[in-house]
Structure 1
Amino acid sequence: MFRWFAFIIIVFIMYQGQKVLKSQLNRGIRNNNPLNIRISNNAWVGKVTPSQDKAFETFSNPKYGFRAATRLIRNYQNIYGLNTLSGIIRRWAPSHENDTTNYTQFVASNIGVAPNDTLNLYDDALMTRLVHAMSIMEVGRYYSMQDAAEGVALA
């Protein structure tokens, strides 16, 4: 009897610890939203409705967050004609909220392009590196390149 009681106590403590750890994570990680996409009316694949966050989308899996980011960035090119890293980052992370220059330099050095190079946003390998590097700026080094690749492949 004591063994069962001890086992139940240990499981309960472990479960509570998992809840505490999850609540201490960065909001983009908690929301499975690696690039911190703001709430919108878009009917994203994998979108959790209502969002668990007042300002940012929540996705059921990080791959859907990477997918949504890929779609948004490609729309920056298709709708707004933005096809350089500088242009994309200025729109994604405006200077009134972010250090856009630092953000751009970090991503450029991580993906091996200059800030004003023309990018082929339909090159899945490039997009994977791009959204992965942007996720590091947004939420830290949490997601793998494989996580990013899964989302890009879904876009």
Structure 2
Amino acid sequence: MTEAIGFLVHDTARLFRRELNERMRHSGVTGLQWRLLAYLARNEGTNQVKLAEFLEVEPITLSRMIDRLADAGLLSRRRDPDDRRAWCLFLEAKALPLIDELRTAATLLAEEAQDGLSADERAQLAGYVERLRQNLSRKNSDSNNQNQAA
């Protein structure tokens, strides 16, 4: 194998994002906005700090993106009951059909990307990629714990 696994995973994810963005271009929602909406669909009520960490964007960038999505009627902010300075984010009803459309497009794209793989190969691939993710998540958690202890 001539390509490093990190490059292959990154390039595959890049191609997947590019194709999904192309399929969803008609919605007027950017790829990063899609990631935000998809995250909220799984973690509704999360605060902006956690969301910025997940999306790996600066808080000001996230704030502007949230403003645009709120202006479009796709999400709303509510005061965090545990922190008066923070806002929790919630999807609005208008976002739900878009989320469903995104899920359908992502499922179809995943099917196309796995064309020619048997059911066993698909399961193995998913297992291997999940193991990579767990290894990296564990390493990041260990690094964060060491940094906090110092």
Same fold flag (TM > 0.5): no
Relative contact order (alpha carbons < 8 A, sep ≥ 6): 1 or 2 greater? Answer: 1
Higher share in helix: 2
Higher strand share: 2
